[in-house]
Structure 1
């Protein structure tokens, strides 16, 4: 799918559409949606989130930002297990994704999504706190340009890492047998 822009995709002056406008429209035009994340240890919870964004409307062009290692360390206090390049490649392989941004800002801004000519930003609705703000998605929620997705219970990178840490001895034994 190419990256059509709304305004009847004709080159008219672009104007973002709100969630309310899109829900009430004939839904015959492409809705451009942006979502972002670290996507470390790409797992079914990530795929489900991307699926929810991609299928929210009949025609969606989904742009996914993959946060850099440096920004993840700065804002989350830890480095991902997988490198930025590995995570970008995993997200590119997901069939729901139309375009990947390898170096977005860590949290989206109205300016960024307007520059991308994106209608909506998709993320789970929990406030995502950063030192600068109580909820980096608040501007999109206030502007009715936020599409809430649901988190997958018990499936997160943190949960996977906890499972690995709980089995460290078993994993070490397995690895030593593989090297022999």
Structure 2
């Protein structure tokens, strides 16, 4: 298993605007619903914005990731996503589970099973990614894609923050 939570910016260089990689929380692990996985990471953005996990997921994955995200998920990773718009999907990812402070999304391909967990807790939002390789080739494909994932995932949170309206 690859757990990249240790590969985060140094704490002496905080950036109040940018999302940062963090330790994977036990709550994210539990909410992923995956008892076994081969890769996991988590990013957090500290924000006072009052938005639901579903709203954060839609802003980050539907809007911020947009067509580029769809290309990577569908073409590069081969994820079988449903229609982009739907009550039980976010950007084609199936809503696997949800609670008041979190939402878990799932997508599958012949290479992977992927779960994304968006949590809103204590003035922050986090995005966690969990993958289980279904075939050995999955590890090779993700090994090539994961550096870009770790650059883009935190940007999805900061872009989502700009896209979500302020609430009073």
Higher relative contact order (CA 8 A, sep 6+): 2
Normalised by the length of structure 1, the TM-score is 0.29
Greater Rg by CA: 1
Q: Which has the higher strand share?
A: 2
